[in-house]
Amino acid sequence: EVQLQASGGGLVQAGGSLRLSCAASGFRLDDYAIGWFRQAPGKEREGISSISSRYGGSAYTDSVKGRFTMYSDNPKNTFYLQMNSLKSEDTAVYYCTADHTGWGSLRNPEFFASWGQGTLVTVSS
């Protein structure tokens, strides 16, 4: 059974940093695409970062490019989202997710079938 457990959220001041973690079980990270989505209050869920197991590349939505970095520790079966220069608009519940097709396209969120429970990030201005 595929399971994902997100952690690391919290309250941080604007300009600060946080690192989110996602512990995965039931699959190997190099067999699936992995990703991070977020949902702000009153808004739709948004894909912000992914790593494809098909071509090994990563993708970021424009609003986080240059500030967020996604990476994985495959022996630990854990992946991370390092968030720097946080802004108030980054406030959201962050979800880690996995795509068994391996593509991990943020434009096709329907393929991300496995989800963690979410961790809240609050950025105060």
Q: How high is the mean pLDDT in each 10-residue block of the chain (125 residues)?
A: 96 98 95 96 96 90 98 96 98 97 90 94 96
Tell me, what's the pLDDT at 54?
86
pLDDT of residue 63: 97
Question: Measured between alpha carbons, how far is 115 from 62 in angstroms, rounded to an integer?
Answer: 23
Q: Where are the beta strands (DSSP E) in the chain?
A: 3-7, 10-13, 18-25, 33-39, 46-51, 58-60, 68-73, 78-83, 92-99, 114-115, 119-124
Give the pLDDT confidence score for residue 56 in this predicted structure.
80
pLDDT for position 108? 87
